[in-house]
Structure 1
Amino acid sequence: MNKKTIIENDKTFIIAEAGVNHNGSLETAKKLIDAAVDADVDAVKFQTFSADRLVTKNAPKADYQNKTTDKNESQYDMLKKLELTYEEHKILKKYCQENDILFMSTPFDFESVDLLEKLGVEIYKVGSSDTNNLPLLKYIAEKDKPIILSTGMSTLTEVSEAVDTISSTGNNDLSLLHCVSNYPAQYENVNLNAMNTMKTAFDLEVGYSDHTPGIEVPIAVVAMGAKVIEKHFTLDKDMEGPDHKASLNPEELKKMVKAIRNIEVALGSSTKKPAPNEKENLKTVRKSLVINKNKEIGEQIFSEDIDIKRPGTGIAPKYKDIIIGMELVKKVKEDQILTWEAFQVE
């Protein structure tokens, strides 16, 4: 798969981020895939990791994780319950293929990359926590597959280092996602204009990985030119687990996708011209020069003889100065729309 498959013309590539919202259950993961298919997204994404390789045994949890899970539990213990085995990955990828949706997963370590390679994933998505993990980025880039890189918590310099590391392998199939790594992210911190700063700086396709409540921001960034959107979703926001409350439910996910597709259509082309169905309105909505008194053949037209009224079937208002002083070759009546025939000798 190449970038043209990800960025298909003007179509936004929408990733439904299941993440760890399966809570370690294969059946829940399948139901998440069903919900993503029903929402008509392009891909459903999970997370591939081993808690033993990801965190130390006593690593603390983030504040938002303490609010949504047992605060006496370590990050290691929380993540250990959310791992998926290779066989479970294999089942989920096959289930995606059967349902005609792209399977994706974010690897958090070298062994997880190897697992996904063994599965034959087509695209790599790298999370914001590894934007500065240059050894992992290089290892992924060497697989010579498209990469979508989130850039939460990163400076432009750090993004530049990541881009240089990936391109140094000869892999230039890279898209960058602006991101704010709070769960949920506050609107005042989103800084959407940074997305286009990256587009200008690196001349790459850009998008947005969203953690704000609701669906407004993903819709806005599509209007701004985002080509990739990633959004967390869950079956139920009240489920136990770190990310459910900052996720969309299935119905919200469907609404987001529908709104994005509507915006894509509405963006249209860059040409300023009347829409086909606007042309029908030209005659009824626009105006014409209208005579406001009866006048005979040979009489001149003066400015005070002219009103400007609908419909737009006669001489356009922009020609008013031209007809002032012209002589009529035909009679005209009060409230008659002027046409050029009134001034032309047959």
Structure 2
Amino acid sequence: MNKTINLGNTLIGEKQSTYIIAEMSANHAGNFERAKEIIHAAKEAGADCIKIQTYTADTMTLDSDKEYFKLKKGTWKGENLYSLYEKAYTPWEWQADLKEEAEKLGLDFFSTPYEKTAVDFLEGLGVGFYKIASFEIIDIPLIKYIASKGKPIIMSTGMATLSEIEEAVEAVKSQGNEDLCLLWCSSAYPAVLDDMNLKTIQHLKETFKVPVGLSDHSLGSASAVAAVTLGAKVIEKHLCLSRENASVDSSFSMEPAEFKKMVEDTRMAEQAVGEVSYGLSEREEISRRSRKSIFVVKGIKKGQKLTEDNIRIIRPGHGLKPKYYDLVLGREAKVDIEANEPLTWEKI
């Protein structure tokens, strides 16, 4: 499988570098200048793209105090959904300016819409591709509407069963849209390593024949680096300026120095993964000469037999390979051979 999709000016696929997305989410904490600073921090940290979210509290849920709308566990325990989204949303009037700021720096810019009016708004901004969040993977009408725009889609799969992922993929394809990338994800905030199950990345790739990646809510960069070794071609990670600048997402977000280190480690990991190769590199050719071979350790006269007393398997590797040791024992020297010389076929 070597399916590729085009995100902005970047190809995503088997032979391409890992595409790294900095997720701003709510880390602007309602401050426009901070939002712009996060974009600059993403660029300096080596991200390829900045992502935001497009919704309002009214488009996400109802303004109700009933128990249904209260979070009982997790990072946002005790929050009411409506008030949580009021604190977290990115004002729509900022988004054109944020897009312009990102593109001025050479960063791709895109967003996660949560309902149709958000899609229409983003279409008006001219975004080049879309994100579908894990929580929305069951919203088939929304997925179809996004797919109908004919633009590439990155879709997170957190919490979804395999059959739910299949339904979502089919919803995209039903609109004639084949430009899809699936991100494995554990939708806990923060995610714990025991729940990451990164081997699923390989299964997603094999099952759906599309580029795959990781939307990572775990702390640190270990999961992101490991995911690259398992075939992830997209890494998405939350970025904040400082976890001391409290927002609803800051507790599980990376600070700029951490994000930069993750990018560096990810680049080194993909470099180390390389490709299937059993040949020698130039650097290995040098080491090859230090392997073992058969050497003459005592002078041997012409016609004298080779014995365990006058030949040995030692380093370096200038003589016959060790596998020929038993074969040459008992043979006669064709010429005089000095001690400390490699044994070669011409000499016996």
Q: TM-score range by the shorter chain?
A: over 0.9
Q: Deviations over 1:265-295 (max 9, x none)?
A: 1112212112211111221x21221223322
| Structure 2 letter corresponding to 1:299 | Q
Partner of 2:297: 292
Among 328, 344, 347, the residue aligned to 1:339: 344
| Structure 2 letter corresponding to 1:233 | L
Partner of 1:93: 99
Q: Which structure 1 segments of 5+ residues have no match?
A: none
Is contact 2:300-2:310 (8 Å) kept? no
Structure 1 position 242 matched with structure 2 position 248: yes
**In structure 2, what is the Cα distance between the partners aligned to 1:84 and 1:180?**
23
| Structure 2 letter corresponding to 1:66 | W
Deviation at 1:147, TM superposition (A): 0.3
Q: Which structure 2 segments of 5+ residues have no match?
A: none
**1:319-330 equivalence runs, <5 A:** 319-330=324-335
Partner of 1:51: 57
| Structure 1 letter corresponding to 2:278 | K
**In structure 2, what is the Cα distance between the partners aligned to 1:37 and 1:62?**
37
**In structure 2, what is the Cα distance between the partners aligned to 1:310 and 1:84?**
66
Partner of 1:318: 323
Among 134, 142, 145, the residue aligned to 1:139: 145
Partner of 1:106: 112
Deviation at 1:75, TM superposition (A): 2.2
Partner of 2:5: 3
Is contact 1:222-1:260 (8 Å) kept? yes
Is contact 1:48-1:105 (8 Å) kept? yes
Give me the identity figure in percent. Answer: 39
Deviation at 1:62, TM superposition (A): 6.0
TM-score (norm 1): 0.93
Deviation at 1:85, TM superposition (A): 3.3
**In structure 1, what is the Cα distance between the partners aligned to 2:245 and 2:101?**
23
Question: Once structures 1 and 2 are overlaid, which stretch shifts more, 243-252 or 273-282?
Answer: 273-282
Is contact 2:25-2:90 (8 Å) kept? no
Is contact 1:290-1:336 (8 Å) kept? yes
Task: Report the secondary structure of 1:34's partner residue.
Answer: helix
| Structure 2 letter corresponding to 1:60 | K
Task: Report the secondary structure of 1:64's partner residue.
Answer: coil
**In structure 1, what is the Cα distance between the partners aligned to 2:84 and 2:299?**
89
Is contact 1:156-1:198 (8 Å) kept? no
Structure 1 position 61 matched with structure 2 position 71: yes
Is contact 2:54-2:92 (8 Å) kept? no
| Structure 1 letter corresponding to 2:73 | D
Partner of 2:170: 164
Deviation at 1:231, TM superposition (A): 0.7
Structure 1 position 180 matched with structure 2 position 186: yes
Partner of 1:255: 261
Partner of 1:209: 215
Q: Deviations over 1:270-329 (max 9, x none)?
A: 12112211111221x212212233221111223453211111112221222332333212
Q: Deviations over 1:30-75 (max 9, x none)?
A: 01001100011111111110110101112223633435xxx4x522
**In structure 2, what is the Cα distance between the partners aligned to 1:32 and 1:125?**
19
**1:216-231 equivalence runs, <5 A:** 216-231=222-237
TM-score (norm 2): 0.92
Partner of 1:21: 27
Is contact 1:104-1:125 (8 Å) kept? yes
Structure 1 position 120 matched with structure 2 position 94: no
Task: Report the secondary structure of 2:76's partner residue.
Answer: helix
Is contact 1:181-1:211 (8 Å) kept? yes
**In structure 1, what is the Cα distance between the partners aligned to 2:275 and 2:203?**
23
**In structure 1, what is the Cα distance between the partners aligned to 2:118 and 2:75?**
23
Task: Report the secondary structure of 1:66's partner residue.
Answer: coil
Q: Deviations over 1:112-167 (max 9, x none)?
A: 11111111111101100100000000000000000000011110010000001110
**In structure 2, what is the Cα distance between the partners aligned to 1:108 and 1:205?**
23
| Structure 2 letter corresponding to 1:78 | L
